[in-house]
Amino acid sequence: MSETLPSAHLQASHLCWQAAAAHILRDVSLHVAQGELVGLLGPNGSGKSTLLRMIYRILKPASGSVEVSGSDVWRSSARDNARAMAVLAQENTSEFELLVRDVVLMGRTPHQSPFARDSAEDFHIVAQALERVDAKYLSERMFSTLSGGEKQRVLMARALAQQAPLLVLDEPTNHLDVRHQFELMNLIRSLGLTALAALHELPLAAHYCDRLYLLKDGVLVAEGTPSEVLTPEIIADVYGVRALVRPSPRSGKPLIEFMPDELL
């Protein structure tokens, strides 16, 4: 699905955002190179979702800039941004009284002229996207009747149908069981797209991400490879829990064993 897409890279520079007098995010910069899967980590309230919302143009930064392949997202049109960036956000999706197929078809809107009818190609792309997330059998179901995990997979299919070269994902494995977490992360890796994903599950981030950024209280406190970021010392400082970290004998990637009886 991604073979003919243009390349993309993301650069967010010195982003700040505040509510009233409280600084929610302070001077955060990150980049995602073409084809990278980069993880954004941090405890609840650390600023992950706020940062992503500035990147996909929901919250305007108090200062700083966001560029996708050199274009400022706040100076580009909504249509151009939608062609460049697909988003899987945390949102209340129960209001969709639509067939699953029609929810995924919404991802084709940036590629259609106004008032255009859905084409045979659009329907083919939708079917392909649903198949890739193991949700083709849901096509004729009402979206509002789905479980949380099924909704998450359908929304991922909508993002894939958008055929944008950059994916921004806010906790994409939320509501998914273990098998579907792995299937979704395997899919994201297989697409070859540029992707930034906020993740709660440190073991998933350690296994799948090329690089990580770690936030605490709205400040970037660590960045680098999973082995550089997910150390026992950093995990203890940021998450307040002890962990044992060792390289996997199979992959060499960090294996994390939490010690739930030794909270800090």
Q: List the structure tokens of 179.
A: 């098998």
Q: Does residue 258 register a pLDDT over 70?
A: yes
Q: List the structure tokens of 146.
A: 């789905």
- CA neighbours within 13 Å on the CB side: how many for 179? 3
Q: Does residue 4 register a pLDDT over 60?
A: no
Indicate the pLDDT class of residue 95, thresholds 50, 70 and 90: low
| Burial label, 117 (beta-carbon count in 10 A; 0-12, 13-18, 19+) | exposed
One-letter-per-residue 3-state SS of 129-184: HHHHCCCHHHCCCEHHHCCHHHHHHHHHHHHHHCCCCEEEEECCCCCCCHHHHHHH
Number of DSSP helices (H) and strands (E) in the chain, helices first: 9, 12
**pTM for this one?**
0.91
Cβ atoms 247, 254 nearer than 8 A? yes
Question: According to the model, what pLDDT value does residue 3 have?
Answer: 44
Question: According to the model, what pLDDT value does residue 221 have?
Answer: 97
Q: Which helix (H) or strand (E) holds 84?
A: helix 78-84
Residue whose entry in the numeric block shows the structure tokens 């770690």: 214
- DSSP code, position 110: G
Question: According to the model, what pLDDT value does residue 262 have?
Answer: 85
Domain boundaries, given as residue ranges, for the chain: 10-263
* Helix residue ranges per DSSP H, the chain: 48-55, 78-84, 100-105, 120-132, 148-161, 178-191, 202-208, 226-229, 232-239
243 beta partners: 258
Encode pLDDT of 219-236 as tens digits. Answer: 999 999 999 999 999 999
Q: Does residue 243 register a pLDDT over 90?
A: yes
- What is the CATH superfamily name and number for domain 10-263? P-loop containing nucleotide triphosphate hydrolases (3.40.50.300)
Instruction: Report how far residue 168's alpha carbon sits from residue 164's, in angstroms, rounded to the nearest whole number.
Output: 10
Indicate the pLDDT class of residue 114, thresholds 50, 70 and 90: confident
